[in-house]
Amino acid sequence: MVNRLLTEKKAPKGKTRVIVIDTFEQLDYLVGDYDSPEEAFSAVDESKNARPGFINDLYCVYDDQGRLIRDDSAVGQGPSS
């Protein structure tokens, strides 16, 4: 299987990046870059509440060093860590 996850995980300096991974299609896409982690977390929570049936979507939040700082396990969905 070819890995088609291409979105850069490292956010611009001082920003927090949200990426969605479609685990069924094995694709990812950029949701946006936010000024703070709290703003990014809020955007993820709002998106998940607006689209509750999209169980194949895994939301991941990264800092400006490319480190994962939150995924769906933090909001009770997705794989547990």
Domain-embedded: residue 1 = no
pLDDT-based confidence at residue 5 (cuts at 50, 70, 90): low
pLDDT of 74: 58
Cβ neighbours around 60 below 10 Å, total: 20
Q: What are phi and psi of 55, to 5 degrees?
A: -75, -15
Residue span of the structural domain in which 21 resides: 16-71
CA neighbor of 29 nearest in space, from 4, 1, 2: 4
Domain-embedded: residue 44 = yes
Residue of higher predicted confidence among 72 and 54: 72
Domain-embedded: residue 81 = no
Has residue 14 got a pLDDT over 50? yes
Residue with tokens 């611009």: 12
Domain-embedded: residue 4 = no
Domain-embedded: residue 79 = no
Q: Decide: 47 and 41 in contact? Cβ < 8 Å.
A: no
Query: How do residues 20-62 score in pLDDT, each as one tens digit?
Result: 988 888 888 899 999 999 999 999 988 877 766 667 788 999 9
Domain-embedded: residue 10 = no
Domain total in the chain: 1
Cβ neighbours around 13 below 10 Å, total: 7
Domain-embedded: residue 2 = no
Domain-embedded: residue 11 = no
